[in-house]
C-alpha cells in the first residue's frame, strides 16, 4: 500500500509496531514513505546505540 498522506504513514507504522514486526523492514518503509511524502530525492536515519555512539 502506498501512503496517501502523513496520517496514512503514521497509521501504517503504528499498526506494524503493535504486532510482531521486522525492525529493518519497518525502518525501510518509514524512510521510503517519508521520502515520497516530502518529494525528496533521498532520506536516511541516524542510529545511536546504547553506548551513545561511542565505540569501546
What string of pLDDT tens digits covers the 56 residues of the chain?
565 777 887 787 777 777 766 778 878 888 888 888 889 998 888 877 787 656 65
Instruction: Please check whether residue 30 is in contact with residue 16, taking contact to mean a CB–CB distance below 8 angstroms.
Output: no
Cα separation, 40 vs 21, whole angstroms: 26
For position 16, what pLDDT does the model report?
74
For position 41, what pLDDT does the model report?
92
Amino acid at each position: 500500500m502506498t501512503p496517501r498522506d502523513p496520517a496514512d504513514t503514521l497509521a501504517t507504522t503504528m499498526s506494524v509496531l503493535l504486532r510482531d514486526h521486522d525492525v529493518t523492514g519497518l525502518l525501510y518503509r518509514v524512510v521510503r514513505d517519508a521520502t515520497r511524502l516530502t518529494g525528496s530525492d533521498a532520506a536516511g536515519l541516524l542510529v545511536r546505540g546504547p553506548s551513545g555512539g561511542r565505540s569501546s
